[in-house]
Amino acid sequence: MAESTDMGAIADWFEHRPINKASRAELEKRLRSRLDFVGVQWADQNGKEVRMLDYACGPGFLSRLIAPHVSSITAIDASQAMVDRYNARIDELGPRHKDTQAIIGDLLADPVEPRTLAKEEFFGFDLIAVGAALHHFPDPGYAIKVLAERLGPRGVLYIQDMFDNGEKREKEAKGPRGFTEVEMRELMGVAGLADFGFEVVDGETDIELLSEEVLSVKLFAARGRKLG
> pTM for the full model?
0.90
* Beta-carbon-side half-sphere exposure of residue 19 (alpha carbons within 13 Å): 14
pLDDT of residue 172: 47
Residue 124, phi then psi, degrees to nearest 5 = 75, 30
Give the Cα separation of 134 and 153 in Å (integer).
23
pLDDT per position as a tens digit, 160-216: 999 998 775 444 455 567 999 999 999 999 999 999 999 999 998 888 787 888 888
pLDDT of residue 45: 62
Q: Which domains does the chain have, with CATH numbers?
A: 7-226 (3.40.50.150)
pLDDT of residue 207: 84
Q: Is 207 helix (H, G, I), strand (E, B) or coil?
A: strand
Residue 158, phi then psi, degrees to nearest 5 = -115, 125
Q: Is 160 helix (H, G, I), strand (E, B) or coil?
A: strand
CB 67 within 8 A of CB 73: yes
Residue 160, phi then psi, degrees to nearest 5 = -120, 125
**Most confident listed range (42-46, 132-136, 162-166):** 132-136
pLDDT per position as a tens digit, 147-173: 999 999 999 999 999 999 877 544 445
